Amino acid sequence: MEVLVERCAALDVHLKSVMGCVRSPGEDAKRREQTREYDTFTRDLEALRDWLRKERVTKIAMEATGVYWRPVVRHEAPSDRVGVKGPHLRAVAAAR
């Protein structure tokens, strides 16, 4: 299978937590997968942002209902990296 995005992440956003999974190159042409959970306080969202930057993630897919995605996008991702899946998949403008 061809890898389309070398370093990607998926975020599942809830009211009180965000689950994150990063897939990146691993050993022997295998993919490395890391999963972490963060609270939704500002300091925790900043830690999530720092983790994604450290892993050099270039694309992020996000599952969120309601407006829970807004603080996550505001704290961690430029708009060219994030897609939010709610009722419809849409691009989200993000503030740095």
Q: pLDDT band at residue 54, thresholds of 50, 70 and 90?
A: very high
The domains located in the chain, with CATH, are: 8-91 (3.30.420.40)
What are the pLDDT digits (tens) for 16-53?
999 999 999 888 878 899 999 999 998 999 899 899 98
Q: Say what the pTM is.
A: 0.75
What are the pLDDT digits (tens) for 82-91?
554 444 344 3
How many Å apart are CA 33 and CA 16, to the nearest integer?
A: 23
